[in-house]
Chains A and B, each alone.
Chain A
Amino acid sequence: MSESTSQAFSLEALRAGDRTEFARLVDAHASQIYRLALKMLADPQDAEDVLQNTFLKAMQALPSFEGRSSLSTWLYRIAVNESLMTLRRRKPEVSIAGNGDAVDDDDYVPTQFEDWCCLPEKELLSSEARTYLDQAIRQLPEKLRTVFILRDIEGLSIRETSQALDLTETAVKTRLLRARLRLREYLSTYYGERLAKEST
């Protein structure tokens, strides 16, 4: 959810611990936080834990929230950190400072050139295809996955994504391009096979 679509909340009331206003905030942002955690972690129970911890931490930190970013971006930031902590617990050998899987710094050059755009929508969005879309996103290194989820799934701007992840806008753009190209490559393999089946 970008700043332009977020609802207006009274920061004064939220900082003062107004429960009605906080309940409104939770209802307005719970789905986006749950979605992010589900895409990051691929586990409903872990996603629910992240959802709860995000709003618990927000509740505690609201009195000192300075409003340098939107509430929405701030909540995403807490949720990303919670999700990364969960991933670290699953893979304790990876340090938090390391910020996830290594990303190949070489330029990513496309190798798949099947034009699968013409496949019918019901094929592109079948339940099997949706499962594959989820699997493909899980194959992305964490650094790329996080940027892609915030920018292309949740629709944050480059600036909001950079604020949520504490990255420069240049770094966000670089990771976004790599994420998009890798996913396109994965999807081309999958839909390319569907295309071949259709033409036989």
Chain B
Amino acid sequence: MPEKLNCQTLLASLSDYVDGVLGDALCQEIERHIAACDNCRVVVDTLKKTIYLYHETAATTEVPIDVRARLFHRLDLDDFIQK
């Protein structure tokens, strides 16, 4: 990343920035930097996408029916297996 100091500052605040918990002043400063620094813009965009992809793929994973049944059996909750 070419603008060393600003890029480093952005990196340190990156998580707070993508989580939307950064103060307004620093947020605006980062947005100004991103507008001028293509590498940082790509890092921000692909980082957001990385988080999104993991969230998307995991949200669909439910405990399988047979696994749930064995869990209830192990917990001596057989009478609750039928929902």
Contacts and interface: CB of A to CB of B under 8 A. Distances in A.
A184 B46 contact: yes
Q: Is chain B's interface secondary structure helix, strand, loop, or mixed overall?
A: helix
A154 B54 CA distance: 10
B45 A117 contact: yes
B44 to A, nearest CB: 10
A31 B62 contact: yes
Interface stretch (A4-12, A67-75, A84-92, A107-115): A107-115
B39 to A, nearest CB: 5
A181 interface: yes
A62 interface: no
Contacts, number: 109
Contacts of B61: 31, 34-35, 38
B41 to A, nearest CB: 8
Contacts of B57: 125, 130, 133
Chain B interface size, as a band, is 35 or more
Interface string B6-33: 0010010011100000000000000000
Contact of A152 (B54, B68, B75, B80): B54
21 contacts: A27-B83, A31-B62, A35-B58, A51-B71, A59-B75, A113-B42, A113-B43, A117-B49, A124-B49, A125-B53, A130-B57, A133-B53, A137-B54, A148-B54, A152-B55, A177-B14, A180-B14, A180-B15, A180-B51, A181-B14, A187-B53
Interface of B: 1, 8, 11, 14-16, 38-39, 42-43, 45-47, 49-51, 53-58, 61-63, 67-68, 70-72, 74-75, 77, 80, 83
